[in-house]
């Protein structure tokens, strides 16, 4: 199973979200979005036929930590003004993945040719925003420093099911010193729109992770003797759940090719 994981942060290129979206829309920017317009919130994308949308919306409401909804489009509508005045959901992400019956059938840079009048787009908060807040708070993040993907794991914690959507919670893990973990709880608790406070810390086996050295997605990262692993609900959860549900159609962003919104990271605690 291929999953949409977030790549490491890249150097910033655009100061402004609209400018970044325009470069992506025109095809001038074809890379991943990590570090682009760094002050702005980036979102995970889940595009579904309307027939599945209400179940997915309910799934998100039941599982707000892995699925913090930043915005939902009207059926068939490609704009989402609340997240960006000029935003076009079919063109403003540099890479989309199209799934049929749980299998990826194509990866495209533009959805205009495959757009359907019944498609509903969900934009979900992602950990880029809270990672910036952690770094800002003076907490070192090893995977960022090493230019790697964050380590992600399937857990034994079930999500609350809704319609066809069900399956285990996926978490991301960041190792840190205990004092930083305590600080990180305080920083991220204020950001429920981007996964919020951790869901676990310490012994990985208590949440069903057998080998912390072997993440299910992303890259392994060392845990030093004076560090503990800290686990956050991860935006890969809804993708994993949607694929397991073998939906007739589902479109997501490609790994690390996120939607750049007009929202500011600094406003996330107040959403």
Chain residues binding a second copy by CB under 8 A are 178-179, 181-182, 185-186, 189, 197-203, 206, 226, 228
CB of 63 to a second copy, least distance (A): 15
Nearer to a second copy, 72 or 191 (CB): 191
Nearer to a second copy, 22 or 177 (CB): 177
Nearer to a second copy, 117 or 226 (CB): 226
CB of 153 to a second copy, least distance (A): 15
CB of 37 to a second copy, least distance (A): 30
Q: What is the 3-state secondary structure (H, E, C) of the chain?
A: CCCCCCCCCCCCCCCCHHHHHHHHHHCCCCCCCCCCCCCEEEEEEEEEEHHHHHHHHHHHHHCCCCCCEEEECCCCCCCCCCCCCCCCCCCCCCCEEEEECCEEEEEECCCCCCCCCCEEEEEEECHHHHHHHHHHCCCCCHHHHCCCCCEEEEEEEECCCECCECCEEEEEEEEEEHHHHHHHHHHHHCCHHHCCCCCEECCHHHHCCCCCCCCCECCCCCCCCCEEEEEEECCHHHHHHHHHCCCCCEEEECCCCCEEEEEEHHHHHHC
Nearer to a second copy, 220 or 228 (CB): 228
CB of 211 to a second copy, least distance (A): 19
Nearer to a second copy, 228 or 244 (CB): 228
CB of 193 to a second copy, least distance (A): 16
């Amino acid at each position: 199973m291929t999953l949409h994981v977030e790549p490491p942060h890249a150097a910033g290129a655009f100061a402004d979200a609209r400018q970044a979206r325009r470069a992506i829309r025109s095809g001038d920017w074809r890379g991943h979005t990590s570090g682009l317009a760094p002050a702005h919130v980036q979102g995970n994308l889940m595009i579904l036929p309307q027939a599945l949308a209400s179940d997915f919306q309910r799934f998100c409401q039941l599982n707000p930590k892995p699925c913090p909804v930043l915005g939902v489009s009207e059926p068939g509508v490609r704009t989402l003004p609340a997240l960006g005045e000029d935003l076009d959901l079919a063109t403003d992400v540099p890479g989309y993945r199209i799934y049929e019956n749980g299998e990826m059938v194509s990866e495209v840079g533009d959805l205009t040719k495959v757009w359907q009048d019944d498609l509903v787009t969900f934009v979900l908060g992602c950990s880029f925003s809270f990672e910036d807040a952690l770094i800002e708070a003076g907490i070192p993040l090893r995977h960022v420093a090493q230019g790697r993907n964050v380590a992600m794991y399937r857990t034994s914690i079930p999500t609350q099911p809704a319609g066809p959507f069900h399956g285990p919670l996926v978490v991301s893990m960041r190792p840190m010193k205990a004092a930083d973990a305590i600080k990180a709880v305080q920083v991220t608790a204020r950001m429920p729109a981007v996964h919020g406070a951790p869901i676990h810390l310490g012994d990985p086996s208590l949440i069903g992770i057998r080998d912390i050295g072997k993440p299910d997605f992303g890259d392994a990262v060392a845990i030093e003797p004076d560090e503990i692993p800290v686990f956050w609900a991860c935006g890969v959860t809804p993708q994993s759940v949607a694929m397991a549900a073998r939906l007739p159609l589902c479109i997501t962003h490609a790994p690390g090719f996120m939607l750049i919104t007009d929202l500011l990271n600094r406003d996330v605690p107040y959403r």
